[in-house]
């Protein structure tokens, strides 16, 4: 794909720019003001070897105390919105909603009010992987009871914040979450290969659907907000475009990793190819039932039409051919093997390979597959070693916004917003503080956690302000 810069194209009127963070990755204050223990607190404190350098999010960027500084940065950047997540155990220490923590609610009220006072819309993720440990002990996402726990939690969020929050994301990256129930790469680190991930995905989907319907029933008329679910979206391209088998395999991979969650929401039920391949595999293994659960007719109806915009977190792309990846194989049922083009640069994080053409193809794929829904890129960003003169990050942002402009202007894709991950360098889950994603650097060796804008901050600010891609 030619990478001519689309400098004549402008982002459409009303296009929104934002920056994103998540509670466990930035807040710190892990046990302050009544906050309860979540699954990342548990892993970091009792199984710290699972995390690079045995790091944790106990203090992280200390945003619980320094949120006004974060908002001031967002304001200086001229951002239209700021995406953050709510820590469930700050709102309710065990996750059960009959025991609320007023100080936790107060914290998010202050953050939301500070944003609005600075003319920045809050875009709020209800759940960004930090499940209350108590609910995990009940089984977490493989227990159907989670659907109702999540609904009750959402009710408290709508009731307390919905008068001011108009953009909601129920769950962040359910697919990644499922890896915690399959190949143990995220908390709760359960090795329930073959079954755990499908169950966790199933109940996350139903939880999302119930929350959407709850909003319809009780809150939407008055609060007039928008709800979606943020999907992580590696795009799978055929390794050899001329090969029909590779094209089919790439499409199957796209359905297994993205259609898994958005087919039930946009079209009803799991993607037919997923149903077929998982059922076939289970039969050949002599299992008495398929590991991919079945939705009832009522559940299909519940889920269909439960997104007001399509929310994508996109970082990278893979080439695809029939076969199996090397260990750990997250989902062998789809039989796809991935590789990369030699010319694609690799960031500091080995999984983050730079191929903006994948974002372009993804945006066009979403338009075709789901009838051109409004799309917000709710995460996109680059990992490096933390340098202030972060020229590779600038290139990454530039090339990804460039293809976004092409998709908007030439393909008429309805893309309404772009969010950089992340406002701040932060705790990158099992990679600890090894990789830096922020456009603002944070000194984690300094107890005051000073923030210093990087070169990419200035670059991004110019784009946000002019609504044009700068050379």
Q: Which residues are catalytic?
A: 173, 379
Helix, strand, coil percent content, the chain, rounded in steps of 5? 45, 15, 40
Q: Report the residue number, 82 or 421, with the smaller CB distance to ligand NOJ.
A: 421
Please tell me the distance from the alpha carbon of residue 429 to that of residue 437, in angstroms, as a whole number: 12
Q: Are 446 and 440 in contact (CB under 8 A)?
A: no
Q: How far is the CB of 10 from ligand NOJ (least distance, A)?
A: 28
Give the residue with the Cβ less far from ligand NOJ, 27 or 428. 428
Q: Nearest distance from residue 428's CB to ligand NOJ, in Å? A: 5
- C-alpha dihedral, 98 to 101 to 102 to 108, nearest 10°: -110
In the complex, the smallest distance separating the C-beta of residue 124 from ligand NOJ, rounded to whole angstroms, is 14
Nearer to ligand NOJ, 62 or 173 (CB): 173
Pair of tokens at residue 324 = 């199996």
Q: How far, in Å, CA of 120 to CA of 96, rounded?
A: 31
387 burial level (CB within 10 Å; 0-12, 13-18, 19+): middle
To the nearest whole angstrom, how small is the minimum distance from the Cβ of residue 71 to ligand NOJ? Answer: 20
Q: In what order do the strands lie in the sheet with 235-238?
A: 235-238, 317-322, 336-339
Burial 175-203 (b: 16+ CB within 10 A, else e): bbbbbbbbbbebbbbbebbbbbbbbbbbb
Please state the closest distance from residue 298 (CB atom) to ligand NOJ, in A. Answer: 31
Minimum CB separation of residue 345 from ligand NOJ in Å reads 17
The DSSP call for residue 12 is P
Which one-letter DSSP state was computed for residue 186? S
Question: In angstroms, what is the minimal distance from the CB of 119 to ligand NOJ?
Answer: 26
User: Residue with structure tokens 């597959």?
Assistant: 369
Contact (Cβ atoms closer than 8 angstroms) between residue 255 and residue 242: no
For residues 208 and 171, is the Cβ–Cβ distance under 8 A?
yes
Shortest CB 40 distance to ligand NOJ, Å: 11
CA distance 152 to 137: 18
- Give the span between the Cα atoms of 82 and 424, in whole angstroms: 12
Q: Which is nearer to ligand NOJ, 23 or 135 (CB)?
A: 23
Task: Measure the CA–CA gap between 419 and 16, rounded to whole angstroms.
Answer: 8
In 3D, which of 119, 146, 124 has the Cα closest to residue 135? 146
Nearer to ligand NOJ, 176 or 290 (CB): 176
- Give the nearer residue to ligand NOJ in terms of CB position, either 220 or 454: 454
Query: For residues 37 and 173, which CB has a smaller minimum distance to ligand NOJ in the complex?
Result: 173
What are the residues whose beta carbons fall under 8 Å from the beta carbon of 69, sequence distance 6 or more?
Answer: 451
Of 470, 460, 465, 462, nearest in space to 381 by CA: 460
Closer to ligand NOJ by CB, 20 or 89: give it.
Answer: 20
Binding site for ligand NOJ (CB under 6 A): 22, 25, 172-173, 313, 379, 421, 428, 437
DSSP states of 356-381: HHHHHHHHHHHHHHHTS--EEEEE--
Report the chain's C-alpha Rg in angstroms: 21
């Amino acid at each position: 794909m030619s990478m001519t810069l689309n400098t004549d194209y402008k982002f459409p009127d009303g296009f929104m720019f934002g920056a994103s963070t998540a509670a466990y990755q930035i807040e710190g204050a892990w046990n302050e003001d009544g906050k309860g223990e979540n699954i990342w607190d548990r892993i970091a404190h009792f199984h710290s070897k699972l995390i690079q350098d045995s790091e944790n999010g106990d203090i992280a960027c200390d945003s619980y105390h320094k949120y006004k500084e974060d908002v001031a940065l967002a304001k200086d950047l001229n951002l239209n919105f700021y995406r953050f997540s709510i820590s469930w155990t700050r709102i309710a220490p065990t996750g059960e909603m009959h025991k609320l923590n007023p100080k936790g609610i107060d914290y998010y009220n202050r953050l939301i009010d500070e944003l609005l006072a600075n003319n920045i819309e809050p875009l709020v993720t209800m759940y960004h992987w930090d499940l209350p440990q108590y609910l995990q002990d009940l089984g977490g996402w493989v227990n159907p009871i989670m659907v109702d726990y999540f609904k009750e939690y959402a009710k408290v969020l709508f009731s307390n914040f919905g008068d001011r929050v108009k953009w909601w994301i129920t769950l962040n990256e359910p697919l990644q979450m499922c890896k915690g129930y399959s190949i143990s790469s995220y908390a709760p680190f359960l090795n329930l290969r073959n079954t755990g991930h499908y169950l966790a995905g199933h109940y996350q989907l139903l939880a999302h659907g119930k929350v959407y319907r709850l909003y319809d029933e009780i809150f939407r008329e008055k609060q007039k907000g928008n709800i979606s679910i943020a999907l992580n979206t590696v795009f799978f391209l055929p390794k050899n475009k001329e090969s029909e088998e590779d094209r089919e395999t790439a499409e199957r991979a796209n359905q297994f990793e993205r259609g898994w969650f958005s087919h039930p929401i946009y079209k009803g039920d799991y993607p037919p190819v997923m149903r077929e391949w998982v059922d076939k595999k289970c039969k050949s293994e002599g299992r008495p039932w398929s590991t991919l659960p079945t939705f009832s007719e009522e559940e299909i109806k519940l889920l269909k039409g439960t997104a007001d915009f399509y929310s994508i977190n996109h970082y990278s792309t893979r080439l695809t051919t029939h076969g199996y990846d090397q260990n750990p194989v997250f989902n062998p049922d789809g039989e796809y093997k991935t590789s990369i083009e030699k010319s694609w640069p690799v960031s500091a994080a080995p999984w983050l390979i730079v191929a903006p053409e994948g974002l372009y193809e993804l945006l066009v794929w979403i338009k075709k597959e789901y009838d051109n829904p409004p799309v917000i890129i709710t995460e996109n960003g680059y990992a490096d070693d933390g340098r202030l003169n972060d020229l590779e990050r600038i290139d990454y942002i530039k090339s990804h916004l460039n293809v976004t402009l092409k998709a908007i202007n030439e393909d008429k894709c309805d893309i309404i917003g772009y969010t950089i991950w992340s406002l701040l360098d932060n705790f990158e889950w099992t990679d600890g503080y090894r990789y830096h994603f922020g456009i603002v650097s944070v000194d984690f060796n300094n107890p005051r956690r000073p923030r210093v804008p990087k070169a990419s901050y200035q670059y991004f600010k110019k784009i946000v302000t002019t609504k044009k891609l700068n050379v």
